[in-house]
Amino acid sequence: MSETGKGFKTTRIAAVILGITLWSLLIIIRLIQLQIFQQETFAGLATQRQQITRSIFAPRGVIYDSHMDELASSVSVSTVVAEPRRIEDIPSAARNLATILEMDSRQSHELLTRMTDPARKTFMVIQRRIDPQAGEQIEALGIDGIYLVEESMRVYPNRELACHVLGFVNMDGDGGEGLELQYDRDLKGQEGVFSFDVDARRRSFRLKVDKPPVQGHSLVLSIDKSIQYITDRELTAGAEKARARAGTAIVMESDTGRILALSNYPQYNCNLYNQCKPDHWRNRAVADAFEPGSTFKVVVAAAALEAGLTRPDELIDCQMGSITIGRHVFRDHKAYDLLTFSQVLEFSSNVGAAKLGLRLGEQGLYEALRNFGFGSKTKIDLPGEIVGLVRHWRDWSGLSIGAISFGQEIGVTSVQILTAINAIANGGYRVQPTVVDCIIDENGDAVRVRSQERVRLMSPKTAQAVAEAFEGVVVRGTGKRAALEGYRAAGKTGTAQKIINGRYSNSKYVASFIGFAPLPRPRITVLVQIDEPRGSHYGGEVAGPIFRNIAQEVLLQLRVAPDKNLPMPSFTPLLADADSEDYLPNPVQPIRSAGKEPKTGTREIITMQPGRETVTLPDFRGMGKRTVLARCIDLGIRLQANGAGVAVYQSPMPGTEVRTGTTCSVTFAKSNWRSQLAAAEAHYAAQRADAERSGNDRP
C-alpha cells in the first residue's frame, strides 16, 4: 500500500476516534446535566407521576359559651370529585352519580356536559358536602377516576342563637361574619399533608403522613347560652308585637363589661346563612348609628353633676315646657315648671336637659361626650364597628348645644350608649365591652386571656346620684312598664325621631330603654332598642316591657335572690289563681340540636348552686312557679318545670331525702288543677304503701 493510502486510512481512523470521543463527551456532559444539575427537576417529575399528595383538613377551633357549651364546631364531610380522563365510560358514570345525588334531568345533563368538557379532563368537583349515605353508595360504585375528598364543615347546633355574634364560615372555609371573621386566623388550623405512591394502573400503596394537621385555637365567650336564648326570644317577641323593622338587645355584666348576650332582630340560621338576605347578617349593635334621643340626657346630667354645675336637690326652672336657643324653640311633651335634678330625668324634660347642657358650654359638653366614648370605637371584639358621629364643637350651629343635650345631632351605636350608661351602674367606670373571655389551644391551655380596661369617668357619689334619679324613672317616671318583680331597677327611656331625606320624620322613630338591676349593686346593664315600631312609639311603652322580661329572667338565671323587702305576687297553696301570670311567663326551653323541631308544651331547666349535702324535698303542690323556684334556690336543687300555672305533681315526691344538685321535676297546670292535685295525692299514697310493704318484707 502506498504511503498516500496509509495516510488516508490513518486520518479516517483518527476522525472516527475523534467523533466517538466527542459523541461520548457530549453524552457524558448531558448525563451530568440530567443527573446532577437537573436531578431535582426530574425527581420531582417522577414523584409527580408516581406519588399523589393530598391535604388533610385541620379542624377549625370550637366556639364555646361561658359554660363551655359548644356554639360552633366542625364536622368532617365528603366532596365528590372526578378526573374524567381516567373514567372509561363517562355517560354511565354521570348517570350513576346523578341518581345517587338525586339530580333532576337538567342537572344530570349539565353534569354530563361538564364531565365531557376537554378543559375539565384533569380535575373537577361534582358536588360538595354530600350526605354520608350517598358517599357510601359512590364508593360502592368503584369507578376509577371518581373519589371522595374529606372536608370540614362548620355546624351551629343552636341555629339562630347568637347568630350576629358567631357569624358564619363560607364554602371556602373562611370566616364570613361575626367572631368567625374577627378571629379567623386563630380559629383556622394548619392543614396537614399525606402522600401515597401509585403504580401504572393508578393503584395506591405506601401511604404516609408528611405533615400532621393542627387544630385551630378555640374561643371561650362571655356569652351565656341560656341568657342569649332569653334575650333572643324576648327581643323577637317584642319586635314582632310592635311590628318593628328591626331591633337590638344587649345584656352586659355591669362591673366587667363582659357581654352576656347580644341579639339583633331579624335573626338568621348560621347553618343556612346563604338562604337569607345579606342585610340580615349585619350586626346592628356595632354597625348602625342612630340618634339616641332622651337616653342621652343621662350623659349630660352626669357631666354637669360631676363638674359641680348642679346638685341632686337643685330645682331647675323648666319654663313651662319651652326654651329658645338661637332662633329655635325647644319644647317638652308637658309644661313643667320647677323640677329637681332627679325629676328632669324622671320626666325626661328636654328643657331641663338643655339648661344643663348650656351650663357645660359647647366645649365642655363636647369634651364630656368624648370622655364617655362617643365619636370613637369601644374596641369590642366584633367586626364592623363604626365610630358614630360627633362633630367638633367648633362646627356646631347656634342651636346644636340644645339639640345634643337631649340626643339629637349626634350618632351613636348601641354598644357605645350601653357602655356609657353602664358607667352609672358600676360606680363611675367606663369598661371595655368584650365578647371573648379567652382563647385556648387544642389541649385546653390558655393562649390569650381577656384584659380588663377601666377608665374612671365620674366619682362614685355622682354615679349614685344619677342612679337614684334613674330609679325614679322606673318607679314614678316614663319607665314604669320596665319595673321588675322582686328587684329594684333603674333606667332611662328614649324616643328619637328618625331622619328621612334630611328631615325629622313624624312617623318613624327609634324607641329605646337602657337600665340596670338589681339596686343597690347592679349585676347587669341591659339595652333594648326597637327601630320603627308601629302604633305606640315611646321607649317606655315599646322597649320598657322587653327590658323587664329580659332582666327578670336573667337575674334568676344568675341566681340573684329577689329582694325580700319588696312586695311579691302571692301564690297561696291550693288557692292560687291558675290564670295569674307566672314568675317566668315565658319559660326557657332547652336548646335543641340542629335539625330537630321543637316539641309541644313548655319546659325549662334551671340550674341552682348546691349549698348543702342533702335536703328534704318540701311539698310544692299548690304553689306558683315563682314560689317553687325560690324554694329550690334556697335548697340548692335543680328545678325542671313543666307547664304553667299551679304545681300539681312533683318527682321525687314530698318528704324524699335527696342530695343537693338533684333535679326535681315539677308539673304545673292552669285548668283542672284541683282534680290533678287529688290524683297526685292518690299516686303518692300508693307509693308510700308500696314502700311500707317493701320495708315489712325485708328480713
The CATH code of the domain that includes 615 is 3.30.10.20
Half-sphere exposure of 162 (CA within 13 A, CB side): 31
What does the longest C-alpha to C-alpha distance in the chain come to? 147
> What SS3 state is found at 459?
coil
What are the start-end ranges of the H helices in 256-349? Answer: 284-287, 297-306, 341-346
Half-sphere exposure of 392 (CA within 13 A, CB side): 2
Looking at the fold, whether 319 and 258 belong to one and the same domain comes out as yes
Q: Can you tell me the distance from the alpha carbon of 473 to that of 482, in angstroms, rounded to the nearest whole number? A: 9
265, pLDDT greater than 90? yes
- Report DSSP letters for 34-79, one per residue: IIIITHHHHHHHHHHHHEEEEEEPPPPPPEE-TTS-EEEEEEEEEE
Q: Can you tell me the distance from the alpha carbon of 234 to that of 261, in angstroms, rounded to the nearest whole number? A: 12
Domain final position from 172, 202, 218: 218
Contact 680/668 with Cβ under 8 angstroms? no
In this prediction, residue 591 has a pLDDT band, given cuts at 50, 70 and 90, of very low
Q: Note the pLDDT tens digit of each residue in 167-222.
A: 999 877 888 899 999 999 999 877 777 666 666 655 555 556 667 777 889 999 99
Looking at the fold, whether 95 and 58 belong to one and the same domain comes out as yes
Q: Can you tell me the distance from the alpha carbon of 73 to that of 635, in angstroms, rounded to the nearest whole number? A: 36
The CATH code of the domain that includes 198 is 3.90.1310.10
Looking at the fold, whether 314 and 233 belong to one and the same domain comes out as yes
35, pLDDT greater than 60? yes
What are the start-end ranges of the H helices in 122-205? Answer: 132-141, 163-166, 178-182, 184-187
pLDDT at 420 (0 to 100)? 93
Q: Note the pLDDT tens digit of each residue in 607-665.
A: 333 334 678 888 888 887 777 877 877 777 777 676 667 787 787 888 888 877 677 77
Domain final position from 490, 525, 557: 557
Looking at the fold, whether 273 and 383 belong to one and the same domain comes out as yes
Looking at the fold, whether 500 and 625 belong to one and the same domain comes out as no
**Would you say residue 183 lies in a domain?**
no
Looking at the fold, whether 134 and 279 belong to one and the same domain comes out as no
45, pLDDT greater than 90? no
Looking at the fold, whether 640 and 499 belong to one and the same domain comes out as no
Average pLDDT, rounded, for the chain: 80
**Would you say residue 45 lies in a domain?**
no
Q: Note the pLDDT tens digit of each residue in 5-32.
A: 666 678 888 888 888 888 888 888 888 8
Cell reading at 168: 358564619
**Would you say residue 419 lies in a domain?**
yes
**Would you say residue 505 lies in a domain?**
yes
Report the number of distinct structural domains present in the chain. Answer: 3
Domain that holds residue 666: 603-697
**Would you say residue 582 lies in a domain?**
no
Q: Note the pLDDT tens digit of each residue in 327-336.
A: 788 888 788 8
β-strand pairing of 663-669 with 638-642: parallel
Q: Can you tell me the distance from the alpha carbon of 500 to that of 528, in angstroms, rounded to the nearest whole number? A: 22
Count CB-CB contacts under 10 A for residue 568: 14
Looking at the fold, whether 277 and 366 belong to one and the same domain comes out as yes
Q: Can you tell me the distance from the alpha carbon of 58 to that of 150, in angstroms, rounded to the nearest whole number? A: 11
Looking at the fold, whether 268 and 155 belong to one and the same domain comes out as no
Q: Note the pLDDT tens digit of each residue in 540-573.
A: 899 999 999 999 999 988 988 888 777 543 333 3
Q: Which residue has the higher pLDDT, 198 or 234?
A: 234
Mean pLDDT of 141-166: 84
β-strand pairing of 218-221 with 204-211: unpaired
672, pLDDT greater than 60? yes
Domain final position from 218, 253, 285: 218
In this prediction, residue 446 has a pLDDT band, given cuts at 50, 70 and 90, of confident
Looking at the fold, whether 538 and 615 belong to one and the same domain comes out as no
Q: Can you tell me the distance from the alpha carbon of 490 to that of 425, in angstroms, rounded to the nearest whole number? A: 9
In this prediction, residue 590 has a pLDDT band, given cuts at 50, 70 and 90, of very low
Mean pLDDT of 419-439: 93
Looking at the fold, whether 667 and 544 belong to one and the same domain comes out as no
Looking at the fold, whether 613 and 548 belong to one and the same domain comes out as no
**Would you say residue 573 lies in a domain?**
no
Mean pLDDT of 275-294: 88
**Would you say residue 562 lies in a domain?**
no
pLDDT at 379 (0 to 100)? 92
Looking at the whole model, is its pTM more than 0.95?
no
Which long-range contacts link 103-107 to residues 24+ away (Cβ below 8 Å)?
none
In this prediction, residue 280 has a pLDDT band, given cuts at 50, 70 and 90, of confident
**Would you say residue 568 lies in a domain?**
no
